[in-house]
Amino acid sequence: MGLKTPLGLEGMVNKSFPPPIVGQLFRLFSSLILTFIGLTAITFIIGRVMPADPVLAIVGDRASREVYDAMYLQMGLDKPLIQQYLIYISNVVQGDFGKSIMTARDVLDDLIRFFPATLELATIATLIGVFIGVPMGVGAAVYQGQWFDHLVRVIGLFGYSVPIFWLGMVALLIFYGWLDVLPGPGRIEVFYDGVVNPVTGIILIDSALQEEWEVFWNAVDHLILPSTILATFALAYIARMTRSFMLDQLNQEYVLTARVKGLKESSVIWGHAFRNVLVQLITIIGLTYASLLEGSVLTETIFSWPGIGQYITTSLFNADMNAVIGGTVVVGICFVGINILSDALYKLADPRARGD
């Protein structure tokens, strides 16, 4: 004769402990910690083994040996590499990325100053890629093998293969140099500097909040070329993946059933097939956005865009390793954060992807 569970305790016994949400949060937190340690360790080691001498970047090549040695000791470069890393990571946890040689300011202050420009550029480029790439991909799948499908595939090949630095220079030459229909490099015209008080650091938002519409539209004009150039890869990737996902869905039996029932073709495509594709596209769009945040270096350099990509590049040329490491770590954290967010949205949109 088996033992019976006391009344009222059976439900408690059947419940899992700890709750699933606790396990998910623990795995997420552990993943973040390991990613952060790996990212900072790799970036720090690369920064230390590079041939650039950070001491010379500070004291100059005409400094005496005594001055050089004093700065060498002050920077802690005499300690073992693992000890240098532990000191660095303890400072980073406290928000201290060190001082920039180039700007003589705290690296964190520089990152807060430059990152909004990159965020603005990458966001606009992603929106362009989504609002143009998704309809292109859907149309290419619907008209598979026809002229529109071939056009989308050619555009995708163009977006993948053409170097972005070449495309940016050609765009500047044509639209700024020859036709003079769009402004040149920079975020706004020089005479608008200081007109808008930086609140968020995103000039479109700040100028709109302060009703400085001349600055707003000038910023929009300056965004057209760099955001469009940066969006070429996003557009090509999103269109290609949307086409692939839609082709898979359009060959499913439920699509054939919907058509047999006499539903409008637009309802079949957008109301049935695309709804299932949308879940997969969330991850693709998230990855694209993260890639643009970290991959805007060339675009920012060509268009003199004062973002974090140009900041890291200029710092690298000046052997400003604190700035390079700090900027790389911040971009990496953003990449991981966006991936986690897209994964959460994926699970929210598709109950089948949720864990127990």
Report the alpha-carbon distance of residue 103 to residue 190 in Å, rounded: 20
Residues 118 and 71 both lie in one domain: no
Based on the domain organization, do 47 and 195 belong to the same domain?
Answer: no
The answer to whether residues 46 and 146 belong to one domain is no
Do 33 and 55 belong together in one domain?
Answer: yes
Chain segment 319-333, per-residue pLDDT in tens: 788 888 888 888 888
What residue type is 251 in one-letter code? N
What is the C-alpha to C-alpha distance for residues 288 and 276, in angstroms, rounded to an integer?
19
Choose among 64, 68, 90: nearest CA to 77. Answer: 68
Q: Is residue 319 part of a domain?
A: yes
pLDDT digits (tens, 9 = 90+) for 110-160: 999 999 999 999 999 999 999 999 999 999 999 999 999 999 999 988 888
Tell me what pLDDT residue 150 has. 93
**Contact between residue 296 and residue 327 where contact means Cβ atoms under 8 Å apart:** no
On whether the pTM is more than 0.75, the answer is yes
- pLDDT tens column, 10-62: 444 454 545 566 666 777 777 778 877 888 888 788 777 777 777 877 777 77
| CATH of residue 226 | 1.10.3720.10
Domain that holds residue 85: 18-93
Q: Are 126 and 38 members of one domain?
A: no
For residue 98, tell me if it sits in a domain.
no
* Whole-number pLDDT of residue 356: 46
Domain count, the chain: 2
Angle of helix 321-349 relative to helix 308-317, nearest 10 degrees, comes to 150
SS3 300: helix
| pLDDT score of 1 | 47
Regarding whether 48 and 184 lie in a shared domain, the answer is no
For residues 222 and 204, what is the distance between their CA atoms, to the nearest angstrom? 11
Q: Find out whether 123 and 207 touch, Cβ atoms under 8 Å.
A: no
Q: Looking at the domain assignment, is residue 1 inside a domain? A: no
User: 102 lies in a domain?
Assistant: no
Between CA 134 and CA 137 the distance in angstroms is: 5
Residue for token pair 């986690």? 340
